[in-house]
Each structure stands twice: as structure tokens, then as C-alpha cells.
Structure 1
Amino acid sequence: MGRGRVQLKRIENSSSRHVTFSKRRNGLLKKANEISVLCDAQVALIVFSCRGKLTEFSSHSSSMDNILERYERCSHSEQLAGTNSDSQGNLSLELFKLTTRAEVLQKNIRNYEGEDLDPLSLKELQSLEHQLDNALKRIRMKKNQIMMESISERHKMEKALKDQNNMLAKKVKEKEKKALITPPQQYPFDFNVSPPQLPSPPTLTLGGTREEGGAMLVGDNEAEAEAGPSNNIVMPPWMMFHMTS
């Protein structure tokens, strides 16, 4: 039986839709490659799946960026020629360029992360590997440079701390030598200390005394207490000597 005609409508089954997309995409890429080789034509193919996966193809004679730039020039040549003063057309063209470049950059980023590698050819994979190797070498060189600078800085700090420690130890030794050579300090006399109190000389009184054998005897305390207070006259010893002679 011959193959029937496929009805052109959306396939509802997701797995069948994915299988059909993969088959048709591979066939489309094959046809694009054939027309570019047989007819020496510049072919650019961009396909986005329903899941947002990008698939692109460009002829070997030119890159995707060159074909897109040529497309922009051809598609907007009439508009740019007739509306040079129209700023809206310039903005639209600039927006289209930026959008295209953003898509290319996003694709490159995904390739660098190891994603969307199926559409790439062997030559493109080798080029991507070479770019990653060069980037890795530059990263390692920068890392080693930063590590060496950090180690050198730490050595300088260690040397400065050692010098400071030696200086402090030298100062301590000098102070210890000065303490051994310096004689003990003599403290001055303290004038705040009061001198010792000398005993006062005995005093003789006329009242309450009696004379026996040329000697003066002090009377009894009880008799003096009964007689009451008396006017005692204090006399120096030399006067007492003349009175008894």
C-alpha cells in the first residue's frame, strides 16, 4: 500500500508530535544542506520547537551572522531608501539587530553550558571545545596570579610582625638592664610624723602638803577631798629649796 497523505493539522499527542518534529527537522536540515552545496547558495535556517529549543543551520561558505546581516540589508533596503528621515524605521531595524544578536548570544551561552549540542557539526564542536580550553587556561592563570599575590602579601605581614616582635623584646631587655644598674631610691624624711612627747617635770604645791624632817609629803587624798578645793600655788623647785633652807 502506498503512503497516504498526511493531514496538516496539529498533532495532539505530545510524544507523537515530538517524534514527528525530530524527523521533519532532520529532513529539513538535510534539504537545506543539499541546496547550499548543489546550488552554491547561502542558506540560513532557524527553527524553534514548541519547547523553545533552538535549531539553526547555515551554509559552510558563510556564517549565520553574515546571512542575517545580508537579509537585513535586502529586506530593509527599500524602506531605508524611501524613509531615511523616518526614525521609526531606524528604530525597528536597530531593534531587529539587537534581537538577533541576543538570540545568537543566548545560543552561545547554552552551548558553553553543554546544552543544545545536537545541531552542531563536528567542526563546530571542535571549535567550541577549543574556545572552552582557552577560557579555562585564562581562568587558571588568573587564579594562580591571585594566589601568588595573596601568599606574597602574607609573607610581608609575617615579616613585619617578626620585626615588631624583635623590637619589643629588645626594649624589654633594655628596661631590665636599667632596673639592675639603678641603685635603690632613698625616700625623704616625713615631716608629718610628730616628735615623741617628753614627760613633763613634777610640780609642787603648797596646799595639802606637810613637812616632816625637812621633806615635803603629800597629804592623804581622803583629807583633801573632805577639806574641799583649795587654791594650790605651783612653785618652781629653786624657790622650794630656799624656803626649806
Structure 2
Amino acid sequence: VYQEGAQGLFLRTQTGRQTDRDVIMGRGKIEIKKIDDVTSRQVTFSKRKAGIFKKAHELSVLCDAEVAVLIFSNTGRLYDFASSRCMEQTIERYEKCTKAINCPTSDPIVENKSPIQEGIEILRQKLRALQRLQRNMMGEELALLKVGELHDLEHNIECAILKVRARQNQIQLEKIANLRFKEQLLIGENEQLQKMLLEEAQRSLGLRPTSLIQTDIITSPTIIMNPYEGFF
């Protein structure tokens, strides 16, 4: 039996109950599956994302609850909402709660942490921050950063590149200076070898070495003759 209702015409069963499967015209349940049309998928994503953020805001205001929502689109873009205005603070709180549940302490009665435990927790937070910075320097997890953080990351990378290039130039200059020093040593050794070969060649020909001839000329005594000797 067909009857007209608020949702249009529907088919009433023999028991008199109206089911969603019986809807013929009007608004019924949407089948949950991937939307093939790209435009329709993007429109649906935008509408439902706005609805989720609206519901999260209403929940945080009405119930005084801390709410955080993270959404990644199919293109990898991040959309987030945090009632505390600081997503990192909510994430740290979540990590502490999950860690306390998964790894309970041996003495759950003690709520206050000792100074050693607080120091360890601070070091762990610093380690996580350094690991996150390292991943960002490698170009990973950039979707989680804001515009200001991206500018700071770019500045740090540029400074690191300048330091690396300066170190490379310094190493090249040191190599050049070392090669020039070795060149001077080789030139001196080459001159010594040439001198030794020349002296060896002169000995084989029965000639006195040039160095000895020059020494005799320099060290031989000079005899001065007196022209009037023998007349007196």
C-alpha cells in the first residue's frame, strides 16, 4: 500500500511499519561508500567536515570538555580543531593518558612525581621535539606545521646550508694548500736528482764535477808577483 508522508511516497508493509528500504521517493538513507565523482566527493567532504567541527565546538561549550579533531583529506591536507586553542597541548595530554593506561606505574597511589621522574619526562619531551624537528628537516610531517613554523624551518635550513658550504670551501682550501706544499717538496727533490745525475755523468766522462771546479776556483790562493824583485 502506497501512502504519502513527510518524506514522500513510501511502501507500507503488511505489519504497518515503515522502513528505510521501503522509501520510494523523497529523502532516505545514503549508502555509505566511496563517492566516485571527484566534485561531489569534495563538496561532501567540505560539508561534513564543517558539521563535525561544529558539533565538536558545541560539545566543548555545552559540556565544558576539551575536544580535538584531526582530519586529513585524500590530498594530504590537514584540518584540525582544538577547543583549547592549542592542539599540541591536547595531544600531549592524550599521550600522557594513553601512556598511563598502557604502562601503569608500580605505585598508582602516588600521584605526585618525584624530581627524577619529572626530569625524565622533560628529557623525553625534548627528545620528541628534536625527533620531530629532525623529521621536519628531512621534509616529513610538514602538513602539521603552521605558516610561521614553516618560515622558521626554512630559515634554519638556509643557515645550515650556508654552514655546510663554508665547511666545504674550507676543506677545499686546506687541500689546495697541502698540494702546493707537496709540489714544493717535489720540485726540491727534482732539483737534487738533476744535480746528482749531472755529477754522475761528469764522473763517467772523466771530468771533474762542476761543483769541485767552482770550489777550486774560489778557494785557490792568489799569487801577487813583485816586478822589482831581483833588482835590489
TM-score of the pair, normalised by structure 1: 0.46
**Higher RCO (Cα < 8 Å, 6 or more apart):** 1
TM-score of the pair, normalised by structure 2: 0.48
In terms of Rg, which structure is larger? Answer: 1
